[in-house]
Structure formats: structure tokens, C-alpha cells
Structure 1
Amino acid sequence: MPGALPLGDPAPLDGLLPASAAVDADERAFGVYIHVPFCRVRCGYCDFNTYTTPELRGAKQSDYADEAIAELRDSVRVLRESSVPSRAASTVFFGGGTPTLLPVDDLVRMLAEVRTTHGIAADAEVTTEANPDSVDRDYLARLADGGFTRVSFGMQSAVPHVLATLERTHDPERIPLVVAWAREAGLDVSLDLIYGTPGESLDDWATSVDAVLAERPDHVSAYALIVEDGTKLARQIKRGEVAAPDDDLQADMYEYVDEKLGSAGLEWYEVSNWATDIRHRSRHNLAYWRGDDWWGVGPGAHSHVGGVRWWNVKHPAAYAERMHSGVSPAAGRETLDDATRHVERVLLLSRIREGLAVSTLEAEGRHAVAGLIADELIDAKAALSGRIVLTRRGRLLADAVVRRLLGD
């Protein structure tokens, strides 16, 4: 979860939701996100809500599973007393931080609690993120035995000097090992990449993409490095110690990875994500982009139910105190009005392969469609069928496309 929490209204201490959250809930999928906020080291580019051991201020990693389980149990009460109907989780996602810094039994216990409290659909997607140096063969096998179906490895690069700039600690030669162990355990595999790191050349990027393809993953994520204010990397760039990412080079890198992955049989289904087929698309992330419901567990985690969005207190110590005292960990929340929900619908649905229905646009957005076709930013054939689908060029300029669709 990103480090900065949005502005909003204070959340009630009992966590109860307004009546609007229950409207049409049966028509929406439900997922669970469990945030594990611990890292061995803080990467210089990272703006997520994560903490190394010296930053925990008395919070204990060894207590975290019990605290998350307490929130899962309380989530059932909140939804029931808010008249939101019970739905089995179609996706469960453990993110971080580094979830696999915890003992595997802790992850399995938290997953078992999701099954007890909310239920888990028979065909659910159950994912954990993992650093390549935080798991071994036995750990991955026990994840699979405990009900996990998928692992997402934070590979980021196959080039040592790029990993060093990102302050990633794993040896790139470990990637084939962890992928083989995950396959042996029966887990689906996703590999995550970052492009545009200071000092990374197009040849470096090609090396990383080739290394990914050599592992034949089910899913690949490739994100442009974004320099977030307040991070160590931002300070290094400001002091002139490293160069800022080059937008033109990042565009070349995106076109390269899209071409290479497509040629290898991985199709894009979201601007930064590719999969071998529909079954291997990240259903958990698709739920975010489609505006479904999810409960976020843990410090700084965000939740969304029926247009009501809320976020937990950020620090693990504050979170632990809330859970031990029986008070909701929610710090603030907002109820999205129709105008905000429209903006978010255009912003998010335009990013995925199925696209956005032209009919959902306001008049200004519909009038922009012809120009977007002429500029080769949206697919002409899809537009004639009533949907907005980005071309590769459109994916590179997605924010500009959204502004035009919103009439800005």
C-alpha cells in the first residue's frame, strides 16, 4: 500500500458502514487483501507502507498473524451489522512488504481464517508476493499444501547493477531455482519487473526480459519506475547523485517488452500486465480495476465496499494497539459520489483489455472518440463495436487518453 494516505472523514470506532455499501452487493465479487508490512531492508524507490525491524517501535512480527486474524474476525461483524450480505472470497492476496518474511505457518493460518470467516470460493485465486531470497523449496511446498495457488516473485531485473541501484538483495541466479520450486509445488508463477532504473540501458532491459521469458511464467508485470516524493531515490536524484528516469527510454522499454511478451504468447490484459491466457490473469487486481469489493487487512491497508473506501492506521504499533483493544483499525474513509465514481470507472476500465463502454461516457468523452481514433490512441474496430480499447501507443499515453475521455 502506498505510504501517503488520502484525505477523508474519520472512520467510526466500530467500523460500521453506511447503508449505501450494501446496495447491490450480491452483484459484486468480494476479495481479501492482507498487507504484511515487514521488509529486511527498505528499497530506495519504495513508497509503500513498509517497515524494517528498527522502525517497528515495539510492534512484533511474531504477533502479526494473530492481529490480522483479529481484524478478519471483526470484518465479519462489521459487514453483518452493516447489512452487507456474506460472500465467499473469490481472491485472496498477500502483499507487502514481504509476506514471506513471516513463517509459512503464519501465512497459512491467516488464509485458514479467511476460509473460516468469509469462506473461499472453490476456484479462488490465492496469491502471495515473495522476494526470491525469502523462500526455499519447503516454504513453497507448504504454501501450496496450505491452499495457496499462485506466487508473485519480485524479480525486478536480471542485471546486478540495476538490482544494486534498486537496493534489491537477491542474486538474479536464484530466479530459476525459485520458479522451479514453485512449479514443483504446483503453484502458478508471476514475475514482476521494473524498467527505467537510473543507469539501466535498453540492452540491460533486454537481458531482463529474456531472463523472464526463459522461465516461461504464467504472468508478467512490468512497471515503469516512478520516483515518489520522500523516497531515498528522490533525494538522490535531487542531489544529482543519479539521473532521473528518461521518459523516452521508458517508452522504448515498454514497446520492447510488449513486443517480446506478445511474441512469446503472453497477451496484455492491463497496461502493465500480461498473461498466457484468461485463466492466468490476476483476478485480484482485475477486481480493483473493475470496482468490485475487497477487505484490506493490516496497517495502511485500503478497503472498498459499494463505493465506500477506507484505510487503516499506518504504523504496525498503532495497528496492534487497535486490534488488542477491540477498536476498528480504520483511520479514515470516504463515500464516493457519482461524479468521482464515474472518473474512477473511466480511469480504471480504460486500462484493461476489455476496455470501457462508449455509452458510459459523458457527451464530451463521446465526442473525443473520433480524435482518439485518428491519433491512433484507441482501437478503431473496438470503438465501432462500442468499446474504448487502448492501442499500444494509447497505453503509453493512457493518462492523456483518460483526460480526453473525461472532457478535460
Structure 2
Amino acid sequence: MKKIGLIPLRKNSKGIPGKNKKKMVGRPLFSWVLTEAIFSELDQVYVFTDDLEIIAFIEKEYSWTSKVIPILRNEENASDTASTESAMLEFSEKINHNYSVLCLLQATSPLTLATDINIALEKITKESYDGVVSVVKTHRFIWGKEGEPINYDVFNRPRRQDFEGLLIENGAVYCTTKAAFIDSKNRVSGKIGLVEMAEETLMEIDSLSDWDSIETLLINRQKSKKQNQRIDFLVLDVDGVFTDGCVYYSQDGEMAKKFDMRDGMGLEILRQNNVEVVALTSEDSKLVAQRMKKLQIENTFLGVKDKYSFLKHFIASRNSSFAAVAYVGDDVNDLTNICSVGWSFAPANAVDVVKMNADIVLSHHSGNGAIRETCEMIMKYNKRYEMSRSEK
């Protein structure tokens, strides 16, 4: 049974211009649900968009997986007046209806998790539903415009703990069988099952204040998942961590970057104590490649824009978890990783939002001992961790 995901994206947005590409916790908005879809039980995930920039981004950033496929969407079905169903029908026809289950995922629901997607899929594949819709339980008392209560008796007002509440569609996940979709031409039909998601997922992104609220929820969610164990991996940004953040240019292009020689010794000592070092940078620089080779950092990944998704893939390939990772970053594109790993560090001269969310703000600046300081802290932490484990 082939299970596919569909993430429809429009290039233009009236409420928040360029919303789908706008950075949320340092990542494009659409990448949040896309990453969860990649690590779900879906067999393939299609991004259906009229935005060529997004297509190019996906082809480059997710080359590490064959699961993600971008497809160009007709302008006609990407207008403000076009329905989501019209886009779904166009998409289904473009792939010759090659699926058994179609799962519609909305980029504007970045709080969606792989577990939510998997539960929806199970409703169809194991419980024989024709369609599934995600909902949120609310304990609000609902009124009609004529002043009539909709869901309770005003003379017998229930206590919150005794009130069943209402289930409200949150617009995050919809699943349908191929037969039901082709017959009804609607995102859900037939026997419909429900997937209850967390209450905060009801929030929609219609304004910048909504954006800020959801960004805070995402940061707190990532931090709440943090766990501590022995550090097996040290992942380092390059510019603003290895270097002082400055790049020197000549008329021929990039000419020089400044690195601190003492960092190399700290990394060598870490490797001798079975901590693997990884360089992960959004820049694609020959100078950086040469320096990482000199430092014998075999796991050097250049030109990575979606650092969180790539790191999640890297960790999974090592059969490990974020808890085993220490991360050093200095700017907003490091923010999601800063909030997610076991231990996160920010150089003293990192941007404020990174320092605010890092576990430890280092006393040294980038390119001036920050990495060496991190190495020494990790050595001490691992030693204490291993001693505490041996005493149990």
C-alpha cells in the first residue's frame, strides 16, 4: 500500500508576504512539516508549488533522501481563489493517481509531528477508514450570533473537568484513500476518522503576532524534548564559531578567514576520547574545506541551509539521538539545533537570540578560543557522566 504526502505551497501570500519561505526558528516555514513527513511512515512526500526558488531549495537541501519530490504547480491552481481540492486533483492527475493513500499536509501547521501523520495513516491502513482529519479538543463555550449557547446549558454550566468540550478541525493533516478521493473529489469523505492533536496546534498563522506565538511554541517544544547522556558528537558551525565571522575578499573573491590554532588541539583531544567531530555550515567555501581537511574532520558538510533536517538525518544514520550531540552555533540558522541537542553552546559574540536559547554561553569569542573552551567542558561533562553511571 503506497502512502504519499502532499504539501501544497503557493508563491504569493497576502497576509504575510513570502510566508512559506519566511524563516521560523531559523528555518523556512514549510521545512517544519516537510521534515516531520520525511521521518514519518509516508513512502514519498511531494511538495507541489509554483515557486521555482522552493523547488531549487528542495532539490539541493534534501538530496540526502529519495523520499522528497518537488513538482511544479500550475499558476491557475495557485491563485488566491483556487481551492486546495483543485490543487489536489491537478497533483493526483500529474502522478497518474499512483498511490493508495494520499495525506494532505499544511505548511502553515508547523507544530505537526511525524507521530500525528503516522496515527492518521494507521486509521486508514489498519482501521479501514476512508478518510482522516486532524482535530483539537477545546473546552470553550460556543455561542451563536443570535445569543444562543451552542454546546452547553447556561443554567447548568459544567466545570471544565466535567465538560467533554468540542472537537475542532485544525487544518493540519488530512488523509484519504485513492478510491474515496477520486469518487468524491474532496480531501476527506466516506467513513471519516479523527486524529486528536495538541491544543496549541489550533493556532493559525494569519498575522505576525501569530507567527511570533508559534515560533515561541516551537522553541519551547524543542527544548522540552532535550535529554542528557554522554556526548558522542560535537557539531560545529564554521563562520562565527571556528572563525571570528569575518571574511576577507580580494577582487578575485574570498581570500582569507581567521582560525584559532588552539581549537585544533582541543578537537584532537576530543577525538582521542571517542567524541566524533562534525562541521556543518551553510557556506560552500574552498577555504573552509581546506581547513577542515587539515584538522582531519572527515564529517564536513558544506552548503547546508536546513541544518536541523540534515542533522536529524545524520544522527539517524548513526543510530543515535539529539541527546548525544553537543552543538556550537552563533546565528539564527543554528537556532533550531541549539534548542534541540543535548548540550548547546554559543560563543560570547553570538547573536542575542542564540545566546538567549543556548544551554551555555561561552566566555570566549568565536575564532578566539570558543571551540577549545567547548572541548574542555565536554571532556569534564563526559567524565562526570561516566563516573555517575559507574556508581549506579
TM-score by length of 2: 0.23
Q: Which has the higher contact order (CA 8 A, sep 6+)?
A: 1
* Structure with greater helix share of residues: 1
